[in-house]
Chains A and B, each alone.
Chain A
């Protein structure tokens, strides 16, 4: 293993006495106080996350729209300027290479990818590059901070040059915070209202500080990757490497909403179309396991003692006061309300298939 990388906010994390872990080659804060307390803060007020480890790929040039549209499953020709979309890129067998967010910006597409996949993704983009297209691996240039929680709008309005209340979900705009130019995007991965802010790495600390300062009166707290993982699981959002991999397809992972089958072509379309016609053999589902025993990655899902699937993510949800998990089951068991058991340390524990998201009262839903 080479030297671990740090983000431009690493010094801040140390000052805030974060617990640091290695994540995707970066030294990242897993928590500052407690994962459960930070999760609650995001559900109740607002939390600030350093997610600068995420990768950014920029695509520009005359034929960039056609090129990006050939790689991602969603039809991005439908995106207006400064609109964003969560989608995936597939290999030829329709396995998921990564899940990502595409921004249609002025003269370029900004594509935000998982930290662990940024090199792999960039190589994939380069391999398929053709025509008048420029591809840049821009991860080092940018910081990314996520402000998430029902009070995010109040906080962000206190630091931006202009009032941003009208900014719609999955839309972005150029803004100024603390005199620095940023891309302000109303996006997130927590189920709460919130913003993701992109800017030049050297301005990260300044922007982090003004948001923390403004957020004080709104009970803001810095939040680590532990809370981020729990928040996304409470929403049933997929984690790459666990719930989605090159061995799973978007149809199996309940991501058909990010696939535009009416688009003429994209990598992986043919096999995906066949799978759509034949029906999938397994499906990603949410499972609630009442109690505090945690179903973890790799644990078997059973029904009447027979194995019907496997857990891909699990945790205890303090919001629901219950253990929750995502896992793949044979598709004839996918129906909401189906009773299953999860084999936790050789003991079957009763659970039930739940319609996602687990957490249904997020501020995002109320707002949009």
Chain B
């Protein structure tokens, strides 16, 4: 069996008395879309924070392509191919869409300790940024100011920024958050197109999207993984229904 792209072993994180991650173990194979679902407050975003390096776990280890990255800094993880997007859109709102992704391209194209040559003259960077924008379907919006884009477009740009880092593993934190049905379709198509090429850990509340996209699903409840399996198995699991889907249906 091939080495998993991402492996988490016994990850634990406490905030005072609250256990946000309770001995979490998880593995995502190369190229798969692995969805992480669970009720609000289950610890999904906290897990993303720890995987991306924004937050240090209290215990446990994180392996990326077999390499222990538990102690690696946020930006170092991005450099080796692990990037995240945000649940609450986090862009450079006063820059154009193109300049937003251009920054992500700059980050991976050598040192930016360049003090003299105009950044605007770097054709290669902007060419790559343009193709990154096209990839998320914002090809015609290069010169639009990011803060003035429609919500759905901002969400696409949010994912576009993470993609433009050339990540091989994407942590997508509720990419569909606040999107209408049509906008969601664009996002589903975008994420679906990544399948096989990029490994995706997808945190999402939109169950329709999750069941259409995911190869496998893990269910997180109160910081614990209670089930991992194919979408059909998860749908059929009584424990999952009780812990999560039941609650969602009742709401």
Partners in one complex: no
A→B interface (CB under 8 Å): none
